[in-house]
Structure 1
Amino acid sequence: MILDDYMPTDSRGRVLDGWYSFFTDGTGTIIGSSDPAVVPVSTYAHLPRRHRSLSKGERINDYLIFEGEDSAIFTAKTDGYLEYPGLGWNSHLVLPKSAIFSQRVDASKSLLQPEDLLHSQIIPDVNKETYIKIQDDKESIQLISLNGIVFASKLGKRGVALGPIFDQITKTGDFATSMMEKLLAEMAVGELEMNLRALENSSKQAIDVIDRNLFERAADIRWWSTDQYFWSALESPGEDVYEAASKRLKVINASYTMYRNLVLADRNGDIVACSRLEMRNELRKLNVSDHEWFQSGMRTADSSEYAVQDVVQSPLERTKDRSLIYVGGIRRNGVRQGEAIGVLGILFDWDTEAQTILRTCLPMDRLGSPIPGAAAFYTNRDGIIIETTDPQRFAVGMKPRIADEHHCLDRGASCSGLLLHDQIRYLIGSSRTQGYREYEGLRWSAHIVRPVDAISVQAYS
């Protein structure tokens, strides 16, 4: 499922010919493949040597012959996730070399004019230098021709024959430089199109990975809600069983460090137990009966259901401005169906996870460093930023003036374009959640931006 998600398909949903995606383990053995008939699992991957010996977190690309076709290969090695070091796996994407150059772009339909692009930081320096050199040469040829015409006129009749020669020099020079300018313009627009597609893909990766994280939270809460410690405490209230439930919550929380706290509330909305034992006395003074997450949890009819309250400020957390709470109903004797006698709520350390994901999706330069001024952020269903890599220009709580096509995306859709924000022009790629398996998502969107023009350190700080 993961390997297929990023593969291009035709109108019938079939992966395009020549495109392959696969995982290899530390020995170079294929452990997962988008096309087992061509790239069989449990076989050794025949790849260039440097694609088999990457450093942690390294990313490289090369050209090679794959299945008899000139292809490009992109390889990345895991760098782990939070405290998880990873298993030393590599991911590989192979695509036809022709696919990189297959789309001819029309400069007249570009978001930015070619001359504007050639002065932007999107275009490689060598192209900019070539463009400047062409402009200099064009001016030099024109000046030489003009001086020649003036000199010929001073010769009188003897210089008449020289005039057409210098005229032709001008025309030939103009033709040569105009063709070079046209070629550079097409290359500039092509570079722009590739950057826009890359931003779309990065935004899709950002929303897909957070969706998978949130799917796991939905699975956790449904499982733990049937734990005997919790339904026993709610059926037979008392300090001893509440303390036992708290200790059980602490054990769970110790194994799942992505949770900031787990709380148990009775049918009246009183917090009776929590995993953070040092907060137990404080939280037991709270009544959450009017909180959306509690009410939604109490309305669940069986253990396959769960509820979630989107990012909100919560009195359950004194050190955080924003909480994301998943909740499951507790039922008598842990039965799968029936009326809820209380709820279990988990407070997910989602902003730490989101930061990690967003930072891995930032556009990088050719040396593997984030592009200066680039940013990544999530917005909720109302278009409000809920997490960001750039709290200065794209602050949490802000509602950036993003075009409707980016804000009103259909489920699972992506798009890219131009954004003017804080008097800075950005390229932007956006993707909306499509959910994962039975998890429908929270209608969040991910946005990745990179500035069109260079941003000085002084201006950015």
Structure 2
Amino acid sequence: MQDDILALALEVSRITSEKISLIESIMRQTRLLALNARIEAGRAGASGAAFGVVAHEMGSVSANITEVAQDLRAAVQANVARIETVGAEMMTAFRGARLQDIALNAVEIIDRNLYERSCDVRWWATDSAVVQALEVPSQASAAYAIGRLATILRAYTVYLDLWVVDAAGRVVANGRPQAYPGAAGTDVSGQAWFRDAMATRDGDQYVVADVETAPALGGAPVATYAAAIRAGGQPHGRPIGALGIFFDWAPQAATVVGGVGLSDEEKGRARALLLDGGGRVIAASDGRGVLAETYALKSEGRPRGFYVEDGRLVAYALTPGYETYAGLGWRGVIEYRLGEAREAPAANMAAA
């Protein structure tokens, strides 16, 4: 709608300018004819005097019409310029508000997905095969746990692997030993997700780590969730180890940022991003800067908003969390290149 209004204003300006130019051209011809008429009236002497008066008046009328046309041109140009400015500001505000809604939708989608991961890890940490692998450690109990984890992985394809870790921080079973043979026996006692899981108060708690590459999983980027495995599988049992589950981040995140609701024209100009709490790019629709770039977002503490800078319209939204998952302070961002577009610069604006 805003694009149509601005295009209409420009078309009115173009047509008006053409018509005024035509009027000015006609008036120039009229003044020339009036001048010639006065010359001929002068040659005719007394008999041409009356015609000379008419010719003089024609010249005066022509001059007046030309002056009116020039005033009209100036007025139209000034008002069309104002319409262009207001229209451009409307376009920026409209597009900015829309893109910040899309940014919010992107981060909400990923957080709803990750909320389910927080449910998974707490549930599977109570699985009898997982608990038995730590309470009755043996090759048989480890094999049983491996089989159980493999069954889960066949149903939950969003995970790269699931690890059962004993209280000393040693991986005793993983669900994909063929794909990741180096996982078993790995010492994770120094990793924050393990330590934090062991420190949780009860079975309702879990921990989550920001997206990082996992060397033991082929260097793939993962979002790691963990929960304590407790004695007897009871919510208030003592921690006897931890379950770590590794969300296959790259394909899931790529689906989210690649599927944002942009038009084909916008997709050619836009970059959709997910940022972690420190502003690090953890997903990008163009694949650039993932886990390497820190994005200089100028949110000024606002949870949602947009601004224009260096020919870019940047819209952003902070995760609101989902259900019991508070989120990690991630943001969705849509960066739109203005290029030849007529959007006007705008100050940093927050959502209403």
Give the TM-score range, shorter chain. Answer: 0.7 to 0.9
1:389 aligns with 2:275: no
2:167 counterpart (255, 267, 281): 267
Post-superposition Cα deviations, 1:29-54, rounded to whole Å, max 9, x if no partner, equal xxxxxxxxxxxxxxxxxxxxxxxxxx
Equivalent residue, structure 2, for 1:414: 304
CA distance in structure 1 between the partners assigned to 2:12 and 2:3 by the alignment: 15
Equivalent residue, structure 2, for 1:448: 334
1:363 aligns with 2:258: no
Aligned length: 320
Unmatched 5+ stretches in structure 2? 39-54, 342-352
1:339 aligns with 2:218: no
Shift of 1:134: 2.1
Equivalent residue, structure 2, for 1:329: 228
- For 1:315, the aligned partner's letter is P
CA distance in structure 2 between the partners assigned to 1:132 and 1:398 by the alignment: 44
Contact 2:104 2:332 in 1 (8 A): yes
Equivalent residue, structure 1, for 2:125: 225
Shift of 1:143: 7.5
Task: Please give the secondary structure, in 2, of the residue aligned with 1:372.
Answer: helix
Task: Please give the secondary structure, in 1, of the residue aligned with 2:263.
Answer: coil
Q: Higher helix share goes to which structure?
A: 2
Post-superposition Cα deviations, 1:236-258, rounded to whole Å, max 9, x if no partner, equal 11111111101100011111111
CA distance in structure 1 between the partners assigned to 2:152 and 2:267 by the alignment: 40
Post-superposition Cα deviations, 1:376-432, rounded to whole Å, max 9, x if no partner, equal 10111111101110124x554212222142xx33xxx21111143xxxx22121011
Equivalent residue, structure 1, for 2:297: 402
Contact 1:402 1:419 in 2 (8 A): no
Equivalent residue, structure 1, for 2:63: 163
CA distance in structure 1 between the partners assigned to 2:86 and 2:266 by the alignment: 26
CA distance in structure 2 between the partners assigned to 1:161 and 1:443 by the alignment: 72
In structure 2, do the counterparts of structure 1 residues 281 and 207 end up closer, same or farther at CA, with 3 Å as the change threshold? closer
Contact 1:363 1:450 in 2 (8 A): no
What is the identity percentage for the equivalent residue pairs of Structure 1 and Structure 2? 26
Equivalent residue, structure 2, for 1:86: none
- For 1:352, the aligned partner's letter is P
CA distance in structure 1 between the partners assigned to 2:337 and 2:229 by the alignment: 50
1:134 aligns with 2:29: no
Contact 1:301 1:340 in 2 (8 A): no
Higher RCO structure, 1 or 2 (CA under 8 Å, sep 6+):
2
In structure 2, do the counterparts of structure 1 residues 453 and 226 end up closer, same or farther at CA, with 3 Å as the change threshold? same
Bigger CA radius of gyration:
2
CA distance in structure 1 between the partners assigned to 2:185 and 2:219 by the alignment: 17
When structure 1 is superposed on structure 2, of 239-248 and 167-176 the one drifting more is 167-176
CA distance in structure 2 between the partners assigned to 1:353 and 1:229 by the alignment: 28
Q: TM-score, normalised by structure 2?
A: 0.82
Q: CA RMSD in A?
A: 2.7
- For 1:262, the aligned partner's letter is L
Shift of 1:373: 2.2
Post-superposition Cα deviations, 1:341-391, rounded to whole Å, max 9, x if no partner, equal 1110100013322221222224214xxx65312111011111110111012
Shift of 1:339: 2.5
- For 1:383, the aligned partner's letter is G
Equivalent residue, structure 1, for 2:350: none
Q: TM-score, normalised by structure 1?
A: 0.64
Contact 2:9 2:80 in 1 (8 A): no
CA distance in structure 2 between the partners assigned to 1:390 and 1:126 by the alignment: 32
Contact 2:271 2:284 in 1 (8 A): yes
Unmatched 5+ stretches in structure 1? 1-99, 101-122, 456-461
Task: Please give the secondary structure, in 1, of the residue aligned with 2:315.
Answer: strand
CA distance in structure 2 between the partners assigned to 1:290 and 1:216 by the alignment: 26
In structure 2, do the counterparts of structure 1 residues 370 and 138 end up closer, same or farther at CA, with 3 Å as the change threshold? closer
CA distance in structure 1 between the partners assigned to 2:229 and 2:74 by the alignment: 80
Equivalent residue, structure 2, for 1:295: 195
- For 2:283, the aligned partner's letter is E
Contact 2:180 2:217 in 1 (8 A): no
Equivalent residue, structure 2, for 1:204: 104
Contact 2:228 2:241 in 1 (8 A): yes
CA distance in structure 1 between the partners assigned to 2:184 and 2:291 by the alignment: 30
